[in-house]
Amino acid sequence: MCGIVGYVGTQPALDVVLAGLRRLEYRGYDSAGVAVLADGGLAAAKKAGKLGSLEKELATNPLPVGATGIGHTRWATHGAPTDTNAHPHLDNAGRVAVVHNGIIENFACLRAELTGRGHDLTSETDTEVVAHLLAEEFSSCADLGEAMRLVCRRLEGAFTLVAMHADEPDVVVGARRNSPLVVGVGQGEAFLASDVAAFIAHTRSAIELGQDQVVELRRDGVTVTGFDGRPADVRSYHVDWDVSAAEKGGYDYFMLKEIAEQPKAVADTLLGRVDASGSLTLDEVRIGAQELRETDKVVVVACGTAFHAGLIAKYAIEHWTRLPCEVELASEFRYRDPILDPRTLVIAISQSGETMDTLMALRHAREQGSKVLAICNTNGSTIPREADAVLYTHAGPEVAVASTKAFLTQLVACYLVALYLGQVRGTKWGDEIRAVVRELSRISREVERVLATMEPVRELARSLAEKDTVLFLGRHVGHPVALEGALKLKELAYMHAEGFAAGELKHGPIALIEEDLPVVVVVPSPAGRSVLHDKIVSNIQEIRARGARTIVVAEEGDEAVVPYADHLIRIPATPTLLQPLVATVPLQVFACELATARGNDVDQPRNLAKSVTVE
């Protein structure tokens, strides 16, 4: 997802904007550009490639110093990643500069109109039409905020726009529809960005920008209106983490730092969830107890790693609440005409709170009368705002594109929701709930123990750097863990990796087994699921007999797997449903180390963005 930064204040705008863009690099991009207002004019620079390429261009051809500026890191959608297609885009007179996230769906007809009126559009992008439209509207009203409102009413699609005009040198204007934009308010300065990480070094005071709203930034404050021009209610909030939380802290990669932060993130997500009487109190869950008692079905919607968290949640929800639970890919959900009604509880899981597929699934569910509970890591994002209730994870900023600590905290949140439903519906006794919460509280220490024993896993990963394929097997909650392990390897190492339910081996996948093929097997507890444990040991024997190189993830004390494991990764013994919290961690480390050994950038894998804000 593209990154946007805007600034009005007293500091050199270019320095502020470039620093902000650097903090948004984790979102993924293929070109970058900046523009500043100075000396009554507008100056811009943009280059394909990483920020380093843009900075080299600025060193050779510096921009004038001004206190108003905008910047952008682009993820190509309309048009290839070239210098010409990079943002900002200017009108023909060079007086308006625009940066944009999202997609303008009716850009083709708007472009044809502009061309017919004599405008010369030079890029392949949908964004450039906005610069020309703003120039036209500004020529009539001489007010950039009003010009933006008029233009936005003509646009279709999902977009965030940030613009400035040389004739209003102390104003930056932003607008959003279905795409994230947050305001930062400082002393004598103001900021716009896709993510608070861009301005957290300057201020922790933020404002949520709502759907179909326009914001005008000036040094002395901000004004927010709807696209219709009416004043809008805004909600301010305080960002509860500082800039150091978004920096590497001595690690080579953000991902390594975030893997190491998982014990704290798990513990933080549990904080304050149990009251003095021992009952769960999830403050953000604003759906009434009676409505939850009347629920007759739960549907989880999510994408990617969050979808795997949902698959694990299904086991906990059905076991603890006796409610049927479906887990759906959000990208497919509303297109298959799902059966929803007011007695359906939909759980939407998204780290960023801006995942477009999940947001559209949420809206479809609410249109059908269903209640929606969001599990999210980002305060003030769109999905929590549009849900009926939200349970925030407290993972802190996750910068690396491949999710690690967000996944573990999503699991914790899913367990808490399942227990809360069991408490409200009377399917779990208070002492049973407290026992599970105690086990969850113990998990952060167990994750720490796992992390302390990972050097053999790293050595193993480095030894497999030249392999083409790795398979992952699991049963019960181990199956989604296998899927997540395979996804991490695909994301980071660019290898063919697949996760399978181990019981499906004989139904096709065993044909893939060949000599020295690495196969990772997640083994269920022999205590909690003895029948499944015996079956998966049999699966390990089957693949080893056909030449596979077996990498077995098993509990401490499980000796039955030892004769069949070429490599054994031990994890602490935990209750069966909670095992994914410890079993996933070695697979994260394995993927990260293997990708590093192959020379890949694990924080910014090719072709991937941190948040997917277009369908």
Is 325 annotated as catalytic?
no
User: Please, which residues have CB within 8 angstroms of residue 131's CB and are 6 or more apart in sequence?
Assistant: 88, 89, 90, 91, 96, 97, 98, 163
Is 2 annotated as catalytic?
yes
Evaluate whether 561 touches 523 at the Cβ level (below 8 Å): yes
137-148 CB burial, b ≥16 within 10 A, e <16:
bbeeeebbbbbb
What 3-state class would DSSP assign to 578? helix
Evaluate whether 31 touches 48 at the Cβ level (below 8 Å): yes
Relative to beta strand 297-302, strand 157-165 is unpaired
The angle subtended at Cα 203 by Cα 201 and Cα 207, nearest 5°, is 130
d(CA 22, CA 29) in angstroms, rounded, equals 11
What 3-state class would DSSP assign to 185? strand
CA torsion through residues 48, 52, 54, 56, sign:
negative
d(CA 547, CA 136) in angstroms, rounded, equals 69
Active-site residue, selected from the candidate residues 2, 152, 376, 414 = 2
User: Please, which residues have CB within 8 angstroms of residue 292's CB and are 6 or more apart in sequence?
Assistant: 345, 421, 424, 425
Three-state secondary structure readout of 290-355: HHHHHCCEEEEEECHHHHHHHHHHHHHHHHHHCCCEEEEEHHHHHHHCCCCCCCEEEEEEECCCCC
- Give the helix ranges, DSSP H, for 344-429: 356-367, 382-386, 405-425
- Encoded tokens for 437: 């919460």
Length of the chain: 615
3-state helix, strand, coil in the chain (%, to 5): 40, 25, 35
- Give the active site residues: 2, 610
